[in-house]
Chains A and B, each alone.
Chain A
Amino acid sequence: MKDKIITTLKILFSFWKTSIAIDMEYRLNFFVEIVSVIGNLSGSIFVLSLLFGPNTTLGGWSWNDSLIILGLYTILDGFTTSILQPNLSRIVRHVQNGTLDFVLLKPFKSQLWLSLRVISPWGIPAVISGFILIAYSLAVNSRMIQSEMILLGSLMLLSSLIILYSLWFLLSTLSIWFVKVWNTTEVLRSTLVAGRYPVSAYPNFLRIIFTFVLPIAFLTTVPAEAILGGVSNVYFIGSLVFSIFLFTSSILFWRFALRYYTSASS
């Protein structure tokens, strides 16, 4: 088991060395990305500030607490830029060009290959600024930070990353049948934007959709509640169960889809 993990890590490391080598060819992109993260973040903070007057709350969330949600959203956005977007959008291209053949013929788990073949450094500025925003908000609030909350918060963040990944992978898997599924993943990414604000700030019907249909609540609001020490048991367990369920589904669905893979003809 241990050997297997070490081998897998070695392979992933060799993947990332090549992908970073390709990205480093384009140095300017890095600075553009930093500027774009700063621009996006200040835009979001500005919009958020418009929603707050003195002593007002947004769906029961104070200004400072809302910043934690924004920070979590920024982290997820960075994760999307670094891992999800560059890897999972390739699945469609692989199916279209038939180069998925090469992935399937390697003695390495194809889902792992397709999910982690490339790592793009361009999402790192967003991830770092997300963490800074959370730390800032906690500091300004001068809350007592308990290690338990950090642990629960991290667990919920991990769970939200898995949910987001699994949803994205499930949608990308559809390309085995429908080939072009760019639009569906685009819908996912734009819905994620709704996660910038607390789910309770939305009207009732959207709140239901964002919890049960598109799990926006589990992506940012629930982890923020966990960090603040106010997450209910139902949501906490719900998030874990949901992430395990979606992750398992993504594995099973991929295996099922491969039975229908026809490999683009040559």
Chain B
Amino acid sequence: MSIITARSLTKTFLVSTKKPGIRGTLRHFFARSFSRVEAVDCVEFDIEPGEIVGFIGPNGAGKTTTLKMLCGLIHPSYGQALVDGDIPHLRHSSFLKKITFVMGQKQQLIWDLPPLDSFKVNAAVYGLTDLEARKRIHELANMLDIDDELKRPVRKLSLGQRMKAELMASLLHRPSVLFLDEPTLGLDVNAQIRIREFLSDYNKKFKATILLTSHYMADITSLSRRVILIHKGKIFYDGDLKKLTESLSPSRSVNIEFHNIYPRQELEQYGIIEEYQNSYVRFLIPREKLSLSLTSILNRFSVKDLEVTDLPIELLISELFKHGKTQNVNIGS
């Protein structure tokens, strides 16, 4: 049975609009005009226990609003969300003990005190005994490779250390459903990798379900097999990440270094030549022709080195959002 379900989930915001200039300001002060914005529009999906799902979309697509409805922060305008059998916006304490929401751009740690003090407050709020809290802090600190930093005031910590501590504060009650909104925002590559590894470990160890948004595709590709693509409040793809890549890019990139230089005309029959520099050639070869073409190339020519890669997913997805080519993707594939 699914642990998270969204049915016709919709959120409409009333946004006040203001024209520029002094006249606009005065008009805005006395008579405000509002417009309706469909932040999330009839979103539907199911997530199974233990799944890690990547939620992708450009800024303002409705990712965060969806997460906020799922964790009960905002009420849906229409439709329903269910998380482990609970209606989120009722915010029952049994529900709140099962979930967590980590936001890359907001922090709950007390700025002037060491993270350990914030952990103690959270431990009390979630009703953990001192012993249990200490055990969990130790366990999470080990998994995140952080130790003495927990005794320093939060304001003295680096962004990466602060994010680790923030994760600890959010996971102390050992939630089984994690909503993560840009958890690696602004972190350097090393810290990003560390956080990713940690999330993967946490998922395996506690069978936790994770719904994650990130602008770093590497977060998504390394953690989740399934992605949900959202644009202008609507879902237009929900399924396997690999299948998405295949459908977005029907060809693969093949880089070959030959022992000799061959004429361009001779090579053109195997695929589209993207780059041709002496003995180095980069082809784009349709997936269905790939094995046949490679066999022929290896039989006919003397090959020194060969590499087959996919086009970077960032590039594919950003192209997709830019051109709004939503009809090219099969929903639910």
| Inter-chain contact B103/A101, CB cutoff 8 Å | yes
| Inter-chain contact B117/A18, CB cutoff 8 Å | yes
Mark contacts of A11-40 with chain B using CB atoms, 8 A cut-off: 1 yes-contact digit, 0 otherwise.
Answer: 101110110011001000000000000000
| Inter-chain contact A105/B106, CB cutoff 8 Å | no
Mark contacts of A192-226 with chain B using CB atoms, 8 A cut-off: 1 yes-contact digit, 0 otherwise.
Answer: 00000000000000000000000000000000000
Cβ of A143 within 8 Å of any chain B Cβ, yes or no, is: no
- A14-B106 CB under 8 A given contacts A105-B72, A263-B68, A266-B64: no
Size of chain B's interface in residues, with CB distance under 8 A?
Answer: 37
Task: Determine the residue in chain B with the shortest Cβ distance to A102.
Answer: B108
- A15-B127 CB under 8 A given contacts A22-B112, A262-B13, A266-B181: no
Size of chain A's interface in residues, with CB distance under 8 A?
Answer: 27
**Residues in chain B near residue A102, CB distance under 8 A:** 106, 108
| Inter-chain contact A97/B106, CB cutoff 8 Å | yes
A107, chain B: closest CB distance, angstroms = 4
Mark contacts of A87-116 with chain B using CB atoms, 8 A cut-off: 1 yes-contact digit, 0 otherwise.
Answer: 000000000011101101111100000000
**Distance in angstroms between the alpha carbons of A168 and B182 in the assembled complex:** 36
Of A11, A15, A101, A262, the residue contacting B101 (CB under 8 A) is A101
| Inter-chain contact A104/B64, CB cutoff 8 Å | no
| Inter-chain contact B106/A98, CB cutoff 8 Å | yes
| Inter-chain contact A7/B106, CB cutoff 8 Å | no
- A15-B121 CB under 8 A given contacts A107-B93, A262-B13, A266-B64: yes
| Inter-chain contact B106/A18, CB cutoff 8 Å | no
The 9 closest A-B pairs by CB, nearest first: A107-B93, A14-B124, A102-B108, A107-B96, A11-B124, A266-B105, A22-B112, A263-B73, A18-B117
Contacts from A to B (Cβ < 8 Å):
7, 10-11, 13-15, 17-18, 21-22, 25, 97-99, 101-102, 104-108, 259, 261-263, 265-266
Besides the contacts A21-B113, A101-B106, A262-B13, what 6 more A-B pairs have beta carbons closer than 8 Å? A11-B124, A106-B96, A106-B122, A259-B75, A261-B73, A263-B73
